[in-house]
Chain A
Amino acid sequence: MITQNIRMSPRRSLLRRWFEPKSIKKMAPATAVIVYGLLILWAVFVLFPLYWLLITSFKLPADVNAGPVYLPWIDFTPSLHAWRELFVFDYEDTLRAYINSIIIALLATVLCVTIGSMAAYALGRIQYKPKFATIVLFVLCLVAMAVVVGRWGVDWRLSLAVALAVFFVLARAVGRHFKATLGNGDILFWMISQRILPPIVAVIPIYMMFQSVRLLDTHIAQILAYAVVNLPIVVWLMHDFFVTIPTDLDESAQLDGATRFTTFVEIILPLAKPGLAATTLLVLILCWNEYLLSLFLSTSNAQTMPILVAAMNAGERGILWWSMAVVIIVMIFPVVLMALVLQRFISRGILLGAVKG
């Protein structure tokens, strides 16, 4: 039994007025000062480099070299020198890289999101139970084939045929004896683990693959490579969106007579629009900024903007800060535009009314 008076007094002292909110949905004055102060600091920290880029693009080389000057018309006289250099004298190079970037990023994103969301839907709705032993057997057959080809110089087609034949003959027997299976979660993790791998590890094999099919310095090589590299992200994100959509809707559509593909296109995909928009934007930005793959897969014709920016850093004329600033500003522009367009779709509440009230 509690004997002491434990009722709390609502009397507001000066200290309380500062540190206690007026109602539970508001911030206390002192908290507000701290929170907004930190936010303003962060905003300055983030926005200042953008401002710096913008003014640098209007500086003459002499102004850049003269040391930090901040205010146009006061510290220095703005000039279109860098803009003119890139869009009048060197416009072919700039424009080509720009168009390359747009084509490659857009097509790679479309390809990646299309394939990725279909895979994610399948992983969200169909139970896969690959036998662990069968997978091990498959890998062993491939390794054996590689050894045979590499060591004894057997023709690879013959070797592949034999390896596959061995796999199919043994697969049933192995499947009967070893019952351990993997599930959808394992498949998902396998996919995302591809993204955990540092890209630099894979880039030389990728380079050699495209070299052997003579696709180096083409759009298609970069589109394929970008799409594949970003596929795990799409599958992972879209899977998360699809599992929030009630399976009742799928089942209802199936009973109504829809095929699985119709269900996906007509029912599920429209409901996953917010997720689709967010994922598309993310992949687009990743493709737009991709540097490493482009560095290896393109030499001149198919070069993208990030390569152009990097090139400004390594010319015989030293680092061309002013040109770099111009290129970066025009690079930011389309992404901001896409973000504004897609933002409309990244809103919640689209599932409202699907189930219950």
Chain B
Amino acid sequence: MNVEERGIDTGHRAQRLSLRGLNKSFGAVHVVKDLSIDVAPGEFLVLLGPSGCGKTTGLRIIAGLETADSGQVVLGDTDVTDMLPKYRDVAMVFQSYALYPHKTVAENIDFPLKVRGVSKQERELAVRDAAAQVHMEDLLDRYPRQLSGGQRQRVALARAIVRRPSAFLMDEPLSNLDAKLRGFMRAELKRMQHQLGVTTVYVTHDQVEAMTLAHRVAIMDRGVLQQIGTPREVYDRPANLFVAGFMGSPPMNFLRGRIENNRFESQGVSLPVAPDKETMAKDVVMGFRAEDADIVKHGAGLFDATVYAAEPTGDVTLVTLVVGKESLSVKMPKDYDIDFDKAVAVHFPLDRGFLFDAHSGVRLAARLVSVS
């Protein structure tokens, strides 16, 4: 799906951002390995991964705060790989906001224009305009220390949008806010990016943020890009065990086992697999999502399990089950109630299960089938 189909107003500023074969090591640690991503003009791309996966380093290379050992960063038609940050025409929102504490809100937003030598009248208008976009126009004379976390976040955003950059870079901008505010700012951020239509790269370790904000998500682990695709794609068709285990809350359930004679066998679990050459006698991991599964009467499901704990979360009840040595979680309706240690069984539509190679982690084409 391209940008036009998504109905995004790209505007004249939207630029394509291409990363080509980026590598970066700090000493002996290879933090970014051969990273290549194409970000379409006006696209909202989220770099997602656990801490230390190289996503922030990748972002800092785009910003010019780190230099890549090899590879290229191309913004629009310009190769910016060896340019100083200030010539790149990108704006960054830091996790810490990085507001200048001795400057007022207005002076903070004004700073990028001031150092660029914009005339005073133009600056005043632009600052008011940017402040209005983030609803901070009444607090222009305050100092950062007099603002709440959410307000500081807005000032940081205003400082980024005031100079109309070719691309926005955001490094976990919401992670210092409390849960309620985070949800609210997420919606604001998405709307603002939609309105401005500026190419955006957003780094986070929070898969909910990634799912909700992104046009496309790029999932990284240990410096390597694992999968890139729309939130739906990475959720419904994870490329490997890592992606499957990272996306979703709770993460996908896994059962280690083996395929023998077209059956998946694991600790008393035995499920039919569609006949396939690829899956002859192989160590695999079977996975299914908590929301796809159901708890049924003992002996009436695909396999039996024991209740370990049940946690009502308000909208659903999360039940943790034990099968052999593995624990699984199943999402049940909110008023569902069950005793600890009760013997039950698990059922899920077999076409909602996944099979992964136990050694490489890659998702197999083979599927579970119902024999009937």
Contact = CB atoms under 8 A, between A and B. Distances in A.
A75 interface: no
B257 interface: no
Contact of A353 (B91, B101, B112, B176): B101
Contact of A252 (B98, B149, B163, B176): B98
B22 interface: no
B154 interface: no
B238 to A, nearest CB: 34
Given A352-B145, A353-B143, A258 B115 contact: yes
B92 A357 contact: no
A254 to B, nearest CB: 5
A352 B111 CA distance: 19
A249 interface: yes
Majority DSSP secondary structure for residues of B touching A: loop
A355 B85 contact: no
A267 B108 CA distance: 11
Interface in B134-189: 143-149, 152, 159, 163, 176
A211 to B, nearest CB: 46
B145 A256 contact: no
A256 B116 CA distance: 9
A257 B149 contact: no
Interface residues of B, number: 33
Given A254-B84, A267-B100, A357-B176, A248 B94 contact: yes
B63 A255 contact: yes
Contacts of A257: 86, 112, 115-116, 163
Contacts of B116: 257
Contact of B97 (A255, A266, A270, A355): A355
B90 interface: yes
B102 A256 contact: no
A185 interface: no
Interface in A324-349: none
Contacts of B64: 255
B96 A248 contact: yes
A300 B6 CA distance: 85
A351 B85 contact: no
B89 to A, nearest CB: 9
8 contacts: A249-B98, A251-B85, A255-B64, A256-B115, A256-B163, A258-B111, A271-B102, A357-B149
Interface of A: 246, 248-249, 251-259, 262, 266-267, 270-271, 350-357
Q: Lowest 9 CB-CB distances: which A-B pairs, in order?
A: A353-B145, A353-B144, A355-B96, A252-B98, A256-B112, A248-B98, A354-B101, A352-B145, A257-B86
